[in-house]
Amino acid sequence: MGWTGRASRHCGSCGENMVSEHIQQEERAAERFELDPEMKVVLARMLERMASRPPLGTSTAAEMRARFADDIAAWNADPPDVPLIADSVVPTLERPVPVRLYDPIGDGDPLPTLIYFHGGGWVVGDLDSNDRALRLLALESGVGILSVDYCLAPENPFPAPLNECIEVARWVHRNGASHGIDVDRLAIGGDSAGANLALATAIDLRDAGERWLRTMLLVYGVYAREHDTASHRLFGNGLFGFGTDAMDALWSLYLGRDGSADDPRAAPLRARLDSLPPACIVAGELDPLRDDSRRLAGRLVGTGGNVDFVECPGVIHGFMSMTRELAVARHATARVADSLRRSLIPRAPLAPGS
């Protein structure tokens, strides 16, 4: 499949050298970036709200969660109807984990399914965080989406959220058939911290010799704690919404007293990245975490992996949740849906003579 970016730029097949060249070019030409016009309106509103609040790093987890719930309310307004949405729980060693299945077909047939972990810096977020975006993705792709309400830091620091995600993924593979899920057509994915958990889960499954995932969907993920990247230097100052200081505070809450950013289970860019499922990787041009996605794409391609890389111009971190207001988010959703569909839904064979 190669490394492509048809939603915004087409890069062809490339590895880490190409990623490095991209970063250097962007740094030299920083003054030429341009906000998407619709993104500019949303960002202005975000910055106005941020100015009236204390910095994220000085807030309690409860305060962060209340702020986040308030922020995402507008993003999730006017959701499209989906034929079947069902809330349930998955049993794990520590607790029953709440999950929500979005079924875009609703006919009872086994459903190819994306196991999805929400973003929120491992500290905020729940089953409602990406509700509108996941409804759209399910409808566009024809793929079921199982959203997972994994445990959160700081009450449950690393590795608890990751271990819970791994348990849920294994349970779905072993038991999903009795719940309308096609266990031979499973994908894993997430956004931001959820993309970190999805990638780390896929690595853990690979290391255990479990090769049943068909593909990965990794949306503007955080894959290492290091901030020595062009995108952090250019866009991590807080003028583009989510910034480097906030990311660092969330890392501290996730790792707790005993976790280490050198642990490849916490920072997947430090892990071996060979022999993983094909990946669709999404990045926003003006996101401090953009270069995490670029580096990951380069590393995966360098190991012989298949990567579909989508970088959307003029948008900030979290843009895929803003489908109600951003055309670029809706276009990216359609692009990702096509990638999922090609990976999980086989085309019917052509009739003879057609």
What's the rounded Cα separation, in Å, for the pair 250 and 209? 32
CATH number, domain at 191? 3.40.50.1820
Greatest Cα pair distance in the chain:
68
Q: In terms of pLDDT, which residue wins out, 178 or 5?
A: 178
Q: Which residues contact 66 (CB under 8 A, 6 or more apart)?
A: none
pLDDT band, very low/low/confident/very high, at 346 (cuts 50, 70, 90): confident
Q: In terms of pLDDT, which residue wins out, 248 or 16?
A: 248
Tokens of 121: 């810096």
Domain assignment present for residue 54? The answer is: yes
What's the rounded Cα separation, in Å, for the pair 295 and 298? 5
Domain assignment present for residue 351? The answer is: no
Domain assignment present for residue 11? The answer is: no
Q: Is the peptide bond before 79 cis (omega within 30 degrees of 0)?
A: no
Domain assignment present for residue 290? The answer is: yes
Question: Which pLDDT does position 125 carry in this prediction?
Answer: 98
Q: Which residues contact 52 (CB under 8 A, 6 or more apart)?
A: none
pLDDT band, very low/low/confident/very high, at 271 (cuts 50, 70, 90): very high
For 261-319, give the DSSP string.
Answer: TT-TTTSGGGS---SPPPEEEEEETT-TTHHHHHHHHHHHHHTT--EEEEEETT--TTG
Residue of 125, 199, 127 whose CA lies nearest to 165: 199
pLDDT band, very low/low/confident/very high, at 11 (cuts 50, 70, 90): very low
Contact indicator for 130, 147 with CB cutoff of 8 Å: yes
The tally of domains found in the chain comes to: 1
What's the rounded Cα separation, in Å, for the pair 277 and 211? 8
Backbone angles phi, psi at 126, to 5 degrees: -160, -165
Question: Which pLDDT does position 349 carry in this prediction?
Answer: 53
Domain assignment present for residue 132? The answer is: yes
- Active-site residues, by number, are 192, 287, 317
| Helices and strands (H and E) in the chain: how many | 10, 8
Instruction: Report the percentage of the chain scoring pLDDT > 90.
Output: 87
Is the pLDDT assigned to residue 29 strictly greater than 80? Answer: no
Domain assignment present for residue 325? The answer is: yes
pLDDT band, very low/low/confident/very high, at 18 (cuts 50, 70, 90): low
Burial class of residue 142, CB neighbours in 10 A (0-12, 13-18, 19+):
middle
The whole-angstrom distance between residue 277's C-alpha and the CA centroid of its chain comes to: 15
Domain assignment present for residue 9? The answer is: no
Is the pLDDT assigned to residue 3 strictly greater than 90? Answer: no
Full domain range(s) for residue 138: 16-344
Amino acid letter at 57?
G
